[in-house]
Structure formats: C-alpha cells, structure tokens
Amino acid sequence: MSDFETLVGLVSQYSPSGQERGAVEWLVARMKALGFDDAFVDEAGNAVGVMGKGAKQVVLLGHIDTVPGEIKVALTPNPSPEGRGELLYGRGSVDAKGPLASFVDAVAKVGAKDGWQFVVIGAVEEERDSEGTRFVAERYKPDFAIIGEPNQWDRVALGYKGSAWANVTVKRGQAHTASGEETAAEAAVEVWLQIKAYVDSFNADKPKVFDKLLLTLRGMDSDSNDFEQWARLKVGVRLPVEVSPEDWYEILNETLRVSETLRVLIEPVGFAIPAWGCEKNTQLVRSLLSGIRSQGGEPRFVYKTGTADLNIVAPVWKCPAVVYGPGDSALDHTPNEHINLDDYKKAVDVLSAALEKLTT
C-alpha cells in the first residue's frame, strides 16, 4: 500500500468546494513526511509543497476540491476481463485528487535537482470559481507548468475550451391575453432559435469539436407584473480558441433582434474564461512523451471540450504548459468514480521520468 498511501489518504479526506481545509492540512503533512523542503497552507487556503531551491521552476498545479457527493472509499478487484490493477473508489479519485497525488509522489521520487525548484499546489475552489488558482496565477512565474486533470496515464492534453455564461432576458409591455400579440416567453423561444442558428452556421465547416461553439440552454423562466412581462434564458457556451468571451458577448448583442415592442438584455454571469491551446513542440511535451514511452505506452494528444485551470494560468505565466493526470474523465462527478491503481502508478513513473529528463 505504500505506493498508494498519498492517493488513498487524500481521497479519504472528503473535500467538496468550500470544505477543503481538512484535506489541505492532510496533504501539507504528507508532503512534509515525504521530504519536501517546505510545505504550507497559503493565504488562499491552497496546499503548497516545495522541493529544491534552484532558480528555474516547475509548477505542478492540481485541485484538491471535489464536487459534492461523498462516495465510500474502497479498494476492489478489477472486474474487467484482463483484471489489471485494483480499483480505488472515492470522490475525487479521478477528478482530480488522482492527478494531484501523482504530482506529490512523482516530485518526492525525483527529489531536489540542482538549479531547479518543484512547486506542487493543491488548489481550492476549482469546481466553483477557481479562487485558489486565481490567487497563485499572480504569485508564480514558472519556466514550465503541468496542470493536473484526468486524461489517462498515456495521454497529454494540449487544449481546453473556454466558457461563457449569460442571462438573456426578453422584456415587453403588458398586453391583453386576447390581443394575439407575441408574449415575452414566445419571443424568448425565437431568441434562442436565433442564437442556435448562428452557432449552427459557425460550426458548419468545422469538423473538430475543439474548434466549434458548444451551446447549451441551462434554464428558462418567465413572469410578469401589472405593466411588464419578461422571460429569461440561461445560456452557456463552450468556446473555441478563435472566439474570446468578449467576442461571444458581442455576437449575442449583434445577433439578437430588438424592436419597439421587445427589449433584449444580455447580462454576462460569473467568470468568463477564454479557451487555450498549448504549444506541442516544447521540451516539456517531449519529456512527457518520453516518460509515457518509458512505461510501455503509446503517447496520444487530446483536446478537451471542458474548461480547466490551464485556461486561467497559461495566459498569465506564458510558459510551456500541458495538462496531465491518470484517471478516466468519463467518471468525473459520477457516483461510480474510481481509479485503477496500476494506471496511477504508471502516471507517477511517467511524471518522475519526465521531470528527470526536463531538469537534466
């Protein structure tokens, strides 16, 4: 069990967003026990471990929070035909304590390297507004960055889509129900169809999902008072690299019709995040590919339709960056969340080999 003590211990600390303190303190103590030169809780509540004192820096950024929904931590045999590796069940085993624990174990395995410093960060609040990552984005200037998300031990993620949310509200003056005039709710349906028509047109010549706009309608409600009626759409979109959040809000403003009868109001909601694509031909990527091959894997690249902390730090740090971590992302946020211990061990070995190559 010693190979998996960090993983099992961290997953055993239930830590949904906003309740990470126990897991943070456990991980800080674990990093100290593994021989990190320093380990502490920073001002944002993140767990931080530092190995080495060199001028060049590699930041390995994972997140320690999970979605809600506690899953009993349990080790079970693998029921698949090949039966390879035990399975660890527990909330966060995949998203994303598996990747974070692999960072800790890999850095402990490599140890201090002359001229280099490894910084492992278990960030808080990623499943909400990424407050922990926004804090560290302005406090580190690494030479290389590895972001922890589950993409299988033999894959390297080079891009994540951006996201933007908006409330689109249609308002009009009150009218008699027998007037035959278009209601605010009816107009809101037409507004949604206008947005969808634009997105369908934009996507028509783009075969890759990573290059498309991915539109969702996540809610709709309506109401009225003595003088006015209104209907509100909650519209979300996953953005490709070529469309910034600002571009998207401008598209909404230009696409949606306004008349003397109807008013359409567009209100951005929450943090909008631009998409990010990583450079493929870097020393960091080559080191990870070499690490995957060292474990008998055939490395593959992947571009994801979700959004990760990569999107927040990469534009600020402006250094070679990738996303890596063990686990099947199809199990994210599910009641069946689990990780294969064989895959976890391979990921640790991949990372340690990559860090050795990168810093030699």
Cα–Cα distance for residue pair 213/210, rounded to 1 Å:
8
Residues 28 and 129 occupy one common structural domain = yes
Task: Answer whether residue 261 shows pLDDT above 80.
Answer: no
Q: State the DSSP H helix or E strand holding residue 87, giving kind and residue range, or none if neither.
A: strand 87-89
- Return the half-sphere exposure (C-beta side, CA atoms, 13 A cut-off) of residue 135: 19
CB 339 within 8 A of CB 326: yes
The CATH number linked to 74 is 3.40.630.10
Q: Could you tell me if 239 and 293 lie in one domain? A: no
Query: 126, 131, 143, 154: which is the annotated catalytic residue?
Result: 126
- Where a domain ends, among 257, 273, 289? 273
Whether 216 and 70 map to the same domain: the answer is: no
Q: Tell me, yes or no, whether 27 and 140 share the same domain.
A: yes
Is 134:123 a contact under the CB 8 Å cutoff? no
Domain boundary among 214, 242, 273: 273
Residues 168 and 152 in one domain: no
Contact yes or no for 281/252 (Cβ under 8 A): no
Residues 183 and 256 in one domain: yes
Domain housing 198: 162-273
| Residues forming a β-bridge with 324 | 148
| Mean pLDDT (the chain, rounded) | 94
**CA–CA distance, 136 with 199 (Å, rounded to integer):** 35
Q: Which of 219, 246, 273 is the last residue of a domain?
A: 273
Residues 6 and 131 in one domain: yes
Question: Are 200 and 288 members of one domain?
Answer: no
Is the same domain home to 77 and 46?
Answer: yes
Whether residue 335 is predicted with pLDDT greater than 70 in this model: the reply is: yes
Task: Give ∠ CA 331-159-117 in degrees, rounded to 5.
Answer: 95
Q: Helix 21-33 vs helix 97-110: angle between axes, to the nearest 10 degrees?
A: 20
pTM for this entry: 0.91
Averaged pLDDT, 344-349: 98
- pLDDT tens digits, residue range 124-166? 999 999 999 999 999 999 999 999 999 999 999 999 999 999 9
Identified catalytic residue from 20, 65, 95, 343: 65
Q: What share of the chain is helix, strand, coil (3-state, %, to 5)?
A: 35, 30, 40
Q: Note whether 147 and 10 are same-domain residues.
A: yes
Report the alpha-carbon distance of residue 340 to residue 336 in Å, rounded: 13
Question: Is the separation of the CB atoms in 325 and 102 below 8 Å?
Answer: yes
Q: How many domains does the chain contain in total?
A: 2
Q: What is the enclosing helix (H) or strand (E) of 230?
A: strand 228-239
Q: Do residue 22 and residue 91 come from a single domain?
A: yes
What is the domain-level CATH number for residue 176?
3.30.70.360
65 is catalytic: yes
Of 259, 256, 245, which Cα lies nearest the Cα of 188?
256
With 90 as the cut, is the pLDDT of residue 178 above it?
A: no
Residues 10 and 146 in one domain: yes
CA 71/CA 328 separation, integer angstroms? 17
